[in-house]
């Protein structure tokens, strides 16, 4: 059933890469409220990525740029698109080359268009998806109000959502928070922000990047002086043994089509695929 305020677009299109029938291949990316021209460039980049059977796109504008993004996705093979209406605010869009993307309610009661959820089927596997775009800290007169309220709403909803979706669940997006022990350390973050990151583990969702790269230092966004690992993917802990790859793709940031790096996730769901690569100790950098 389509959740209130969400639009599922089901027009056919073409892309250079057929969707996998045995792997969930997903890219999450903050597209920085792009103009129509830059939105089309972003979709051209996505269309060239073999890992992008499913895309979770954050900071999608509500105006012409966001409309151009959705239209370009439809034209390049994303048969299912969940694009919540957001008024004038930014939103999160979930797009799939796989058939049968079904929007569901995430249960997030505040700024729900930043937290759309969906279900799809890949072979014999039911897959739940949650896209997330946490607000920034906000203007001085309302510092952290929306951010904290949204984080609280997600933390309250996510446990029930994981149970309702069942099976493999993936949550992905720009959380605008970092983990404890982040390198470098940023004094601006409070305990409530670290607690939000840790709320995913509390409901049985593992940080996919950390599962494979426990000691790696990576950043997906850069401020004036240093970097931040703001963009994350999580999967149900019971499915960690299916995890094949998780990495950051820096080319779109370096090429200037967004100020964020993208993040790629591959989960192997082929029959008999029970063990992904073992976590390794990565050198810093």
In a domain, 277, yes or no: no
What does pTM read for this prediction?
Answer: 0.90
Residue 275 — very low, low, confident or very high, per pLDDT cuts 50/70/90?
very low
Residue 3 has pLDDT above 70, yes or no: no
**Domain at 125, CATH number:** 3.60.10.10
Cross-strand bridge partners of residue 27: 55, 264
Range of the domain at 70: 8-268
Residue 271 — very low, low, confident or very high, per pLDDT cuts 50/70/90?
low
Give the span between the Cα atoms of 18 and 103, in whole angstroms: 22
In a domain, 285, yes or no: no
Residue 85 has pLDDT above 50, yes or no: yes
Residue 170 has pLDDT above 50, yes or no: yes
**Residue-level pLDDT at 225:** 80
In a domain, 3, yes or no: no
Other Cβ atoms within 10 Å of 273 Cβ, number: 14
Give how many domains the chain has, as a whole number.
Answer: 1
**Residue-level pLDDT at 2:** 40
In a domain, 283, yes or no: no
In a domain, 278, yes or no: no
In a domain, 192, yes or no: yes
Give the span between the Cα atoms of 204 and 235, in whole angstroms: 8
Q: What are φ and ψ of residue 114, in 5° steps?
A: -90, -5
**Environment class of residue 136 by beta-carbon count within 10 Å: exposed (0-12), middle (13-18) or buried (19+)?**
middle
Sign for the pseudo-dihedral over CA of 96, 102, 103, 107: negative
Average of per-residue pLDDT across 253-279: 81
In a domain, 123, yes or no: yes
**Could you read off the pLDDT of 104-146 as tens digits, one per residue?**
999 999 999 999 999 999 988 999 999 999 999 777 667 789 9
In a domain, 274, yes or no: no
Share of the chain above pLDDT 70, in %: 88
Residue 16 — very low, low, confident or very high, per pLDDT cuts 50/70/90?
low
**Could you read off the pLDDT of 209-221 as tens digits, one per residue?**
999 999 999 999 9
**Could you read off the pLDDT of 177-195 as tens digits, one per residue?**
999 999 888 888 899 999 9
Residue 280 — very low, low, confident or very high, per pLDDT cuts 50/70/90?
very low
Share of the chain above pLDDT 90, in %: 80
Average of per-residue pLDDT across 18-31: 96
Other Cβ atoms within 10 Å of 104 Cβ, number: 20
**Could you read off the pLDDT of 61-71 as tens digits, one per residue?**
999 999 999 99
**Residue-level pLDDT at 272:** 55
Residue 5 has pLDDT above 60, yes or no: no
What is the residue-averaged pLDDT of the chain?
89
Average of per-residue pLDDT across 169-183: 95
């Amino acid at each position: 059933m389509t959740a209130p305020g969400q639009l599922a677009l089901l027009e056919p299109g073409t892309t250079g890469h057929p969707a996998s029938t045995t792997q969930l291949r997903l890219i999450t990316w903050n597209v920085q409220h792009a103009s129509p021209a830059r939105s089309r460039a972003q979709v051209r980049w996505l269309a060239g990525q073999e890992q992008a059977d499913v895309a979770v796109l954050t900071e999608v504008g509500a105006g012409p740029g966001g409309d151009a993004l959705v239209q370009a996705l439809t034209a390049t093979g994303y048969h299912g698109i969940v694009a919540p209406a957001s008024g004038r605010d930014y939103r999160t869009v979930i797009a799939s080359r796989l058939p049968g993307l079904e929007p569901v309610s995430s249960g997030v009661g505040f700024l729900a268009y930043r937290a759309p959820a969906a279900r799809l089927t890949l072979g014999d596997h039911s897959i739940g998806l949650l896209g997330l775009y946490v607000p920034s800290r906000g203007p001085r007169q309302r510092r952290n109000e929306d951010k904290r309220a949204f984080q609280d709403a997600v933390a309250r909803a996510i446990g029930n959502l994981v149970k309702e979706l069942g099976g493999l669940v993936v949550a992905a997006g720009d959380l605008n928070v970092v983990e404890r022990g982040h390198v470098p350390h940023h004094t601006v973050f409070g305990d409530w922000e670290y607690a939000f990151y840790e709320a995913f583990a509390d409901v049985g969702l593992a940080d996919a990047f950390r599962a494979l790269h426990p000691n790696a230092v990576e950043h997906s966004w850069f401020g004036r002086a240093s970097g931040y690992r703001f963009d994350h993917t999580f999967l149900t802990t019971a499915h960690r043994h299916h995890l094949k790859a998780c990495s950051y793709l820096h080319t779109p940031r370096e090429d200037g089509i967004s100020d964020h790096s993208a993040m790629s996730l591959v989960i192997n769901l082929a029959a008999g695929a029970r063990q992904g690569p073992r976590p390794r100790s990565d050198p810093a950098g």
